[in-house]
Amino acid sequence: MLSVVAAELSSSVSAWRVRLPRRLVQLHVGLVLYGVGMALQLRAGLGLDPWDVLHLGISRHTGLSFGGTVIVVGVLVLLLWIPLRQRPGIGTLCNAIVIGLVVDTTLALVPEPSVLAVRWALLLGGVLVGGVATGCYIGAGLGPGPRDGLMTGLAARTGRSIRLVRTVLELTVLAAGYLLGGTVGVGTVIYAVAIGPLTHVFLPLFTLPPVTVPAVGDGSEPRVTTAVPR
């Protein structure tokens, strides 16, 4: 019996190793797209999502690039995971670095438009790309982003709902970013309204199947666990 279980476990581990390169590619495609989408919204100049309002406000006061601010804030948010006892995955660490680098690269390549129609196209395109990107990097199953992990950690520690914690957290960073000079506008509203439905559409399309690991010792059927390395 143990030999059978060991064989099944070995097969599951091998399957995970085969899937890992696919997960890593999908993760980084998602992170790159997310950075591009952020940059397009920034270039549109019609309003940013709450965290980017904060990033822009901090950037204007510190002299850091927008992408550099995204990285610094991501690392600082990760430090808040420690008292919340959150455990980052590979995707968490990549998220904290890659998006900021891509944002700065995209901003260097995309000029700021003066035509309103182009600004609207950049805004709507940025929101759409952000929805696809969210489905990609979350669907890879390699760990949440720093800000998402902060939200889930606070919800777990306080016993409050995810919806309530997310609302309070995003209103807080939005207010702080606005006071620092971040751009709040129609794009902020559009992002808030659209990102949930877009994620609902794209996340199932990009979610990779979990790894099946047999339960050892009682002859039970294999159990399914999440494929997030710890």
Q: Which amino acid is at 122?
A: L
CA distance 197 to 159: 26
Range of the domain at 104: 25-207
Is residue 40 assigned to a domain? yes
Q: Which stretch of DSSP H or E encloses residue 194?
A: helix 186-206
Is residue 2 assigned to a domain? no
- Token pair 């948010």: residue: 77
- For residue 209, the 8-state DSSP code is P
Is residue 20 assigned to a domain? no
Helices (H), strands (E): how many in the chain? 8, 2
Domain count, the chain: 1
**Which of 9-18, 118-127, 217-226 reaches the highest mean pLDDT?**
118-127
Is residue 61 assigned to a domain? yes
Say if pTM beats, i.e. exceeds, 0.95. Answer: no
Is residue 124 assigned to a domain? yes
Is residue 192 assigned to a domain? yes
- 3-state DSSP of 34-87: HHHHHHHHHHHCCCCCHHHHHHHHHHHHHCCCHHHHHHHHHHHHHHHHHHHCCC
Is residue 223 assigned to a domain? no
Q: What is the mean pLDDT of residues 173-182?
A: 95
Is residue 224 assigned to a domain? no
Closest CA to 44 of 111, 104, 99, 109: 111
**CA 221 to the chain's CA centroid:** 34
Q: What percent of the chain has pLDDT over 70?
A: 83
Q: Is-contact 135 205, C-beta < 8 A?
A: yes
pLDDT tens per residue, range 120-175: 999 999 999 999 999 999 899 898 899 988 988 898 888 988 888 888 999 999 99
Is residue 212 over pLDDT 50?
A: no
Between the alpha carbon of residue 71 and those of residues 3, 68, 110, the distances in Å are 47, 5, 20
Is residue 222 over pLDDT 50?
A: no
